[in-house]
Amino acid sequence: MEDKKLTFIMYPWYAMGHLTAFLHLSNKLAHRGHKIFYLHPAKTISKLEKFNLYPQLINFKSFTVPHVEGLPLGAETTSDIPIFNQDLLCQALDLTKPKIDSLIQEIKPHFILYDFAYWVPSVARKYGVKSIHYCSITPSSVGYLMRGEQPTTEPEMMEPPPGFPVNSSIKLHKYEARLIAALHSIGKDSSGSGTATVSFTQRLLLAFQDGDAIAFKTTREIEGPYCDFVENKFKKPVVLAGPVLPEPTETSNTEENWSKWLEQFDEKSVIFCAFGSECKLKKDQFQELVLGLELTGVPFFAALKPPFEAETIEEALPEGFKERTQGKGIVHSGWVEQQLMLSHPSVGCFVTHCGGNSLSEAMINECQLVLVPNFGDQFVNARLFGGDLKVGVEVERDEENGFFTREGVCKAIKLVMNDESNEEGSNIRANRAKWREFLLSKGLEDSYIDAFVQKLQTVL
């Protein structure tokens, strides 16, 4: 049984974080000789190809994302559209159903791993293929946020659901609960085209309820009680893939320029701030953030998208900011290889929007964590890492509107970076070191991936 080589189809949602998460897992499986057919939107190939470490076993299959009325022409991933238009991209995903059907029929894999394509299990069953919901968000987020088909009210979202682990630090603030309630109702109305659409919440619930198992990228040590809660809630086996650490990537030429820039500073003295490929702030919050970085007096590199009310980073920067930070502060809107930045010896602090991939990349590096969650599951991630694990500090915000100030940003950074700082800072740094050591401990990842494959064999 052990040596049976398996064949997988991977069909992730069209967001870079999901696409890379599925590809990292594909690498771990290919390393053990399993065969992968990895489906991706055509234009994402340039960003994904370099992460394929086993091209002889991981077969990229590109496709054109079907066009849906209202979707900008050529839009392929969530970074091409505003967050509240994601239901249109979901509709495009649903139009690929016939293509996936014929592919499953042709390849006859043992498993297909999916996330937002909630109809995959019904298609897979026709051909005797097992479907696994590989969830890109954490068990704690799924347990807290997935309540039921009816949109949940703001006060309800502020409290954990019944039966949620008692020792959890996870709760939502008022403004976060409001955003989540809005997210739950995305796509509720029919588009007027005569085709009824599923709401975002229904889509996710169906995706969890219909597959043969639910898989997560996490460990029992970090999220055991939440895994049990999810297993209980959906009455499905929960399979853990472990930390699924990304392999170190090769340096590209553009990165070398930033390495040279970073090298002029002392070890662990630079702040790296990055909010992922999708997060856009409002202009006033963008300015508070960069002014907070300036206020620390420490060198910084910020990789951010221009805020909502501006076309470019240049026009969004506060007056005089560029002149004042010349030589020791950079705000950059282009693509940055985050893993390389985080592992650079000069980087001592990471200011993050708490996306799942960003946090797992950060956890295996030595930089301290400052948490500024922006949307969705990022709020839960911030409580998990800042509250349960105590490995970082959240920037203080206004309970009503979620507004943070430059002083708040500066205070949080100084708390974790400053060695002579108070006891709280010392405890956070000690916890950071302890969890990093655990995640990098010899054999941990291998034992999780081996157990993952074994558990899938039993699902067969």
Catalytic one of 115, 210, 377, 388: 115
For residue 10, give the DSSP letter: E
Q: CB 99: neighbour CB atoms within 10 A?
A: 14
Side-by-side strand order, sheet with 329-332: 329-332, 300-303, 270-274, 347-352, 368-371, 392-394
- Give the contacts of 417 (CB within 8 A, at least 6 positions apart): 268, 271, 296, 298, 348, 349, 368
Which helix (H) or strand (E) segment is 270 a member of? strand 270-274
Between the alpha carbon of residue 316 and those of residues 40, 365, 449, the distances in Å are 34, 31, 45
**398 carries an active-site annotation:** no
Q: CB 126: neighbour CB atoms within 10 A?
A: 10
Q: How far apart are CA 432 and CA 416, in angstroms?
A: 10
Q: How far apart are CA 78 and CA 85, in angstroms?
A: 9
Token look-up 């081996």 returns 450
Q: Where are the alpha helices (DSSP H) in 296-349?
A: 313-316, 321-325, 338-342
**377 carries an active-site annotation:** no
- Give the contacts of 160 (CB within 8 A, at least 6 positions apart): 144, 168, 170, 171
Q: Note whether 335 and 364 are within 8 A (CB).
A: no
Q: Kindly tell me the burial class for residue 319, based on how many C-beta atoms sit within 10 Å of its own C-beta (0-12, 13-18, 19 or more).
A: exposed
Q: How far apart are CA 102 and CA 326, in angstroms?
A: 56
CA angle centred on 420, ends 415 and 422, rounded to 5°:
50
Q: How far apart are CA 114 and CA 150, in angstroms?
A: 24
Q: How far apart are CA 288 and CA 308, in angstroms?
A: 14
CA angle centred on 84, ends 372 and 371, rounded to 5°:
5
Give me 428's structure tokens: 């956070």
Catalytic residues: 18, 115
